[in-house]
């Protein structure tokens, strides 16, 4: 009997979840007042993010999908997923809670700072899990991961420095807070492209 690779199954699950979240977000548009604006934004953002992940996965060549699935079947890969998935779930839950509480208003600066940093805690756990993963993989996979991280760091550094010069020249304008929040997502996306290049190089 034919069985899909486990990573492909997860991507199909992500697609189904994205459609469910998109349906909830659409209901919020069709019936105003059905849910708070923060909740509607949460469902919209998650659905768009999951759909983008699915589209990117579908565009990957088969050899890359197979390589990624093999990596996740190793002992280090399974340990990383066991630590990463709960942390990612916690991030998805804590982010809208943090935004909701801040928008309601918190007078004490210290408490407001703690609430604002709530989503950072699971991201830190993911980073620690990734560091442990890199330490536990074999020499070849460690080389791929380090090359991917290096490419991502260079791309993001060059991009943000270029954007900074353009902003100083008043060619573009970005909100500083939004720009800082996007550093990690852009770094993660660049890491994905860097890993694709690294895997292709050693294919």
pLDDT in tens, 126-179: 999 999 999 998 888 889 899 999 999 999 999 989 988 998 898 988 887 777
Classified as helix, coil or strand, 203 is coil
Q: Which residue has the higher pLDDT, 129 or 76?
A: 129
Name the packing angle between helices 62-72 and 6-30 (round to 10°).
Answer: 100
Q: Please tell me whether residues 145 and 129 are part of one structural domain.
A: no
Q: Please tell me whether residues 36 and 93 are part of one structural domain.
A: no
Q: Which domain-ending residue is among 28, 52, 73?
A: 73
Q: Please tell me whether residues 145 and 198 are part of one structural domain.
A: yes
pLDDT at 3 over 50: no
pLDDT at 1 over 60: no
Q: Which domain-ending residue is among 137, 155, 182?
A: 137
Q: For the whole model, what pTM was predicted? A: 0.75
Query: For residues 59 and 65, is the Cβ–Cβ distance under 8 A?
Result: no
DSSP state of 26: H
Instruction: Give the confidence band of 200 by pLDDT, cuts at 50, 70, 90.
Output: confident
Please name the residue that has the structure tokens 């943000």.
Answer: 160
Percent of the chain with pLDDT over 70: 95
Domain count, the chain: 3
Q: Please tell me whether residues 127 and 179 are part of one structural domain.
A: no
Query: For residues 27 and 88, is the Cβ–Cβ distance under 8 A?
Result: no
The vertex-134 CA angle with 91 and 54, nearest 5°, equals 50
Report CA-CA distances (Å) from 157 to 181, 183, 190.
15, 10, 11
Output the pLDDT for position 6. Answer: 60
Locate 155 and state its tokens: 């791309």
Q: Please tell me whether residues 146 and 174 are part of one structural domain.
A: yes
Q: Please tell me whether residues 48 and 62 are part of one structural domain.
A: yes
Query: For residues 114 and 53, is the Cβ–Cβ distance under 8 A?
Result: no
State mean pLDDT over 117-131.
91
Q: Please tell me whether residues 173 and 203 are part of one structural domain.
A: yes
Q: Domain containing 60: what range?
A: 1-73
Please name the residue that has the structure tokens 């800082």.
Answer: 180
Output the pLDDT for position 147. Answer: 92
Instruction: Give the confidence band of 7 by pLDDT, cuts at 50, 70, 90.
Output: low
State mean pLDDT over 181-189.
84
State mean pLDDT over 176-202.
83
Instruction: Give the confidence band of 32 by pLDDT, cuts at 50, 70, 90.
Output: confident
Q: Which domain-ending residue is among 110, 137, 164?
A: 137
Output the pLDDT for position 129. Answer: 92
Instruction: Indicate the Cα dihedral angle 109, 111, 113, 116, nearest 10°.
Output: -130
Contacts of 19 (CB under 8 A, 6+ apart): 47
Classified as helix, coil or strand, 32 is coil
């Amino acid at each position: 009997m034919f069985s899909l690779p486990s990573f492909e199954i997860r991507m199909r699950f992500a697609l189904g979840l994205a459609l469910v979240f998109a349906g909830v977000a659409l209901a919020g548009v069709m019936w105003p007042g059905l849910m708070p604006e923060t909740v509607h934004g949460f469902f919209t953002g998650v659905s768009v993010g999951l759909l983008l992940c699915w589209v990117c996965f579908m565009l990957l060549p088969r050899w890359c999908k197979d390589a990624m699935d093999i990596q996740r079947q190793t002992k280090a890969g399974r340990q990383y997923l066991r630590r990463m998935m709960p942390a990612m779930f916690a991030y998805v839950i804590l982010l809208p809670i943090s935004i909701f509480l801040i928008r309601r208003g918190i007078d004490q600066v210290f408490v407001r700072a703690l609430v604002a940093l709530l989503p950072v805690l699971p991201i830190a756990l993911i980073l620690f899990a990734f560091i442990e993963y890199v330490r536990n993989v074999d020499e070849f996979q460690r080389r791929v991961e380090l090359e991917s991280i290096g490419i991502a760091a260079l791309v993001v550094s060059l991009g943000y420095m270029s954007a900074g010069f353009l902003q100083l020249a008043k060619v573009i304008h970005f909100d500083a807070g939004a720009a800082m929040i996007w550093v990690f997502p852009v770094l993660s996306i660049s890491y994905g492209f860097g890993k694709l290049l690294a895997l292709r190089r050693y294919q």
